[in-house]
Amino acid sequence: MTSKQKDKLWTGILYAISIFVVILLVVLIGLIFYKGRFALSPAFLFGNPKIGEAGGGIAPMLFNSFYMLVVSLLITIPLGVGAGIFLAEYAKEGRMVNFMRLCIETLASLPSIVVGLFGLLVFVKMTGWGFSVMSGALAVAVINFPSLTRVSEDAIRAASSGVKEASLGLGATNWQTIAKVILPTAMPQILTGVILASGRIFGESAALLFTAGMSAPPLNFHSISLDGSSAFSLFRPAETLSVYIWKLNSEGMVPDAADIANKASAVLVMMVLIFNVTSRVLGKKIHDKYSGKN
């Protein structure tokens, strides 16, 4: 075979693999939406679960999932992006930095069930917080921190290669260059890491089983407090939607458990898709604003 024939052959193979992946994704999402096609009814989205009875909704679990997402991202983003900035712009290459990268890689390879057991020991038992939103958010933050750090470091390195010297040459300080030039340029890639972390939060169940708990008490929106019985309390049990789906399929606590699980799965996938699209649009607008395209 000539070089051109080999090139065409492997190009065709790669196209075939790409098309197969897209078809597989479309079929999977289509099957989930078909089985949960009645999930968007107000009674299901805004109703409370009925233990031992058919019907019921997912309102507490839906709120818990979004609340867990917000709390966990508030912890993960500053730490992950800050670590990425440090490794890309301030850390000097050497044994210590290599050791730090090794620790991050090792942490990224830990199974989520191990992180859940660590969270049970530290965040639930040692701190005395019990099964709570804070315990679950910290456990998920431990899972997402390595990946967001690596994405941020790579994005900042790639963005700084073309603009850093120009900014410093115009008289900007190193921090001004990072905050005003490099970070906005790297924002689309960093948002990709945030999206991946958010999808992990939405879909995580193993770590949250041991930290956030498997109970969803009635939500109290009459008071706004980070403690006590308020729905916004950080120290109350918080069963997320993915944990609820797992519990429905494993315990069968209601007669129509499979139907509710299918509907909840469709809602979960829809949440991830909406969040991904919204984040992409927002990231593009931020990038266009700072790059002068608007």
Residue 203 makes CB contacts below 8 A (sequence gap 6+) with: 242, 268, 272
Give the domains, in start order, of the chain with CATH numbers: 36-291 (1.10.3720.10)
| Mean of pLDDT values over 261-282 | 84
The lowest-confidence range among 74-83, 98-107, 218-227, 254-263 is: 218-227
Residue that has been written with the tokens 């994405």 in this structure: 151
- What is the reported pLDDT for 161? 74
- What is the reported pLDDT for 101? 87
What angle is formed at CA 184 by the lines to CA 181 and CA 186, rounded to 5 degrees? 100
- What is the reported pLDDT for 140? 92
pLDDT value at 137 more than 90 = yes
Residue 55 makes CB contacts below 8 A (sequence gap 6+) with: 43, 47, 256
The percent of residues above 70 in pLDDT, for the chain, comes to 97
- Separation of alpha carbons 244 and 205, rounded Å: 9
| Mean of pLDDT values over 42-71 | 84
- Separation of alpha carbons 85 and 106, rounded Å: 20
pLDDT value at 287 more than 70 = no
User: In this structure, how many other beta carbons lie within 10 angstroms of the beta carbon of residue 262?
Assistant: 23
- What is the reported pLDDT for 274? 83
| Mean of pLDDT values over 68-83 | 92
pLDDT band at 118 (very low <50, low <70, confident <90, very high): very high
End-to-end CA distance of the chain: 50
- Separation of alpha carbons 76 and 145, rounded Å: 6
- What is the reported pLDDT for 293? 64
